[in-house]
Structure 1
Amino acid sequence: MDIEVHRVIALPLRRVAAYAMDWRNDAVWTRGITRAELTVEAPGGGFGVGAEVRRSASFLGRRIDYVLRVLTHDPPDLLDMSSVAGPFAMRVTYRFAERPAGTLASIRVRSDASRFSGLTGALLTPLVRRAVAGDLRELEAKAR
């Protein structure tokens, strides 16, 4: 599965990106996430390249726990993370760009979660796309 969802958010770039890139907000705007915890700090301390965040989430009625490691942290433009623990390999990329109407927010998710859910990619992809689109709507509401 490889999906990317975009939404123009009528807020300044730095505000949207700072809110979305702060792991402490994960459970607020990402509706499936119930808990997020910084388990490994970046080599220089805090959140950045090398940091790891453990997330607990609910998807399709099942709880999943996974850890994402930060591969790229380039605020306010890019946050790229890859799973290092969990039921399936996953890569999540947040991109933000300034637009006349505000901020273009994009989330890309790449994974093979079909092993976890038992659904084929053809069935799973629209569910994940819909969930990510909902997350971007929540981001717009919560970043205000």
Structure 2
Amino acid sequence: MAIDVTVRRVIPLPPERVAAYAMDWRHDAEWTQGIRTAELTRPAEGGGFGVGAEVTRTAYFLTRRIDYVLRVAAYEPPRLLDMISVGGPMPMHVTYVFERHPRGTLAGIRVRGGPGGPYRVAAPLLARLVRTNLTKDLRDLERRLSDREGGA
């Protein structure tokens, strides 16, 4: 895969709180860069969200609309959500990890994938853009949760 980017941030809230919000696909558009909509298009075998569930996202990246489907490969709240693309313009693997930290939660997002073939030469630029977006995602996640905590 052409891109492998990991970004981490300490969020001053417990992992259970951070993960409950971040792992809920209904909040994707609120804190994830470029995502306009997210819809549970296939529930897990036992119903709802979990391993085997599929979420269809509509996003914009470099002003281009991208529709893709992520299937949940691993779901271990509040620690891990691992998803792989099963539909979309390029292969993608997205992993969210939430670990206890002395100041709250060490939140991490890893994205692997990206263009192959002739587009591989653009991988360094795309990796920088992905890193920038993931950094903003974690910042926005912290802001969203802090605002919710303050308003609670």
Equivalent position of 1:62 in the other structure: 64
What's 2:99 paired with?
A: 97
Q: CA RMSD in A?
A: 1.6
For residue 7 of structure 2, the aligned residue among 5, 26, 45 is 5
Q: Once the 2 structures are TM-superposed, how far is the Cα of residue 113 of structure 1 from its aligned partner?
A: 3.2
What count of residue pairs does the alignment treat as equivalent? 144
d(CA) in 1 for partners of 2:62, 2:116: 12
Find runs of 4+ consecutive structure 1 residues off by over 4 angstroms: 114-119
Quote how far apart the aligned CAs of 1:31 are: 2.2
Where does the alignment leave 5 or more consecutive residues of structure 2 unmatched?
147-152
Question: What SS class does the counterpart of residue 89 from structure 2 fall into?
Answer: coil
Alignment of 1:32 onto 2:34: yes
- Whether contact under 8 Å (1:67, 1:84) holds in the other structure is yes
> Alignment partner of 1:143: what SS?
helix
* Distance (whole Å) between structure 2 residues aligned to residue 91 and residue 51 of structure 1: 15
Displacement of 1:12 after TM fit? 1.1
Aligned to 1:20: 22
**Counterpart of 1:135?**
137
Q: Deviations over 1:85-113 (max 9, x none)?
A: 00000000000001010100000000123
Check 1:87–1:99 CA distance in 2 against 1; reply closer, same or farther (3 A cut): same
Query: What is the identity, as a one-letter code, of the residue corresponding to 1:138?
Result: D
**Taking structure 1 as the reference length, what is the TM-score of the superposition?**
0.95
User: In structure 1, what residue type is equivalent to 2:73?
Assistant: L
The match for 2:149 is none
Q: CA deviation at 1:117?
A: 7.2
Letter in 2 for 1:10: P
Partner Cα separation in structure 2 for residue 114 and residue 66 of structure 1 = 17
Q: Percent identity of the aligned residues?
A: 59
Q: Which of the pair has more CA radius of gyration?
A: 2
Separation in 1 of the partners of 2:32 and 2:126? 18
Measure, in 2, the Cα distance between the counterparts of 1:99 and 1:34: 31
SS at match of 2:126: helix
- For each residue in 1:5-63, what CA deviation from the matched residue of structure 2 results, as whole angstroms up to 9, or x when unmatched? 00000111100000000000000010210000000000011000000000000000100
Give the gaps of 5 or more residues in structure 1: none
TM-score calculated relative to the size of structure 2: 0.90
One-letter identity of the residue aligned with 1:140: E
Asked whether the equivalents of residues 29 and 142 of structure 1 are also in contact (C-alpha less than 8 Å), the reply is yes
Aligned to 1:80: 82
